A and B are shown apart, each in its own frame.
Chain A
């Protein structure tokens, strides 16, 4: 399909481009907005893979909720003034660089080894896997225990958030 490859390549170029712009912008608000653009491009890429549910939650949770939180935090810390960000090499930057390098190597190893060991789907199954119904059925039958544990994780997140946001230590 020629249309499909046009959509794929334009989304791929846009997502890589927006990611690069996100990293290089000095102003954190503008960087965050490019990250949102990047999320939308990624959601589009998920849709070309028929992963509807993932695409929608990517927009709903990442672009909708997490990015609003990011923007609020940027406003809270008033990072709008870009001069405050220093260019000095700190231990934090070295650790971040090391972790990014490890992630890159991991991704490269996946590309090299290919799809060995992954479950194989034929075309019809592949269309089914991404739908909300399929995920619902799998989640509430096969992956029941991880699902219930998620609630504990979310509870911990709520309590952590409240502790972090506490105004006065008591």
Chain B
């Protein structure tokens, strides 16, 4: 008898075998005529400029960090939810304390504005130019007669 986790391993193996089978079938059937222009990276039909491995914005990092902390919290919630009906009110109070402390954290992040996707402020270019002379002159005050 295979254990239940052995079956999971078989699922992974069957998935990999299927992908490999598909790729091998297409490898037999398909043509293979590469040339440099075909193998160049796609960049809107232009010659690729530089490398794609560039620096990324810090906001991705912030999201990943917040996710990590909440993920750990969820990991604690799962065993709790599972035994919740058995333990009753006591478990509810325990989790209420736990969540209340963490909700302070969420509120803190919220107030600090780190849940906002950091939008770049568009800088509208300002062009200094001379205004025509006739516009620079302020219209003369009508003289009271």
A–B contact via C-beta, under 8 angstroms: yes
Query: Is the Cβ of A152 less than 8 Å from the Cβ of B69?
Result: no
- Interface residue count on the B side (C-beta < 8 Å): 47
> Which of A60, A73, A78, A154 meets B105, CB within 8 Å?
A154
Q: Complex Cα distance A68/B63, Å? A: 10
Chain B binder among A99-107, A116-124, A139-147: A139-147
State whether A61 and B69 are in contact (beta carbons under 8 Å apart), knowing that A69-B61, A158-B108 are contacts in the complex. no
- Which residues in A have their C-beta under 8 angstroms from that of B106? 158
- Least CB distance, B98 to chain A, in whole angstroms: 5
Cβ-defined contact, A65 with B68, below 8 A:
yes
Chain A contact residue count (CB 8 A cutoff): 46
Instruction: Report which A residues bind B (CB closer than 8 A).
Output: 3, 7, 44, 47, 52-53, 57, 60-61, 64-66, 68-69, 72-73, 75-78, 80-81, 132-133, 135-137, 139-141, 144, 147-148, 150-152, 154-155, 157-159, 161-162, 164-165, 167
Task: Please name 13 further chain A to chain B contacts, defined as beta carbons within 8 Å, in addition to the given A141-B87, A147-B76, sorted by A numbering.
Answer: A44-B9, A65-B64, A65-B68, A65-B71, A78-B55, A80-B51, A81-B53, A137-B86, A139-B76, A140-B90, A151-B98, A161-B65, A167-B58
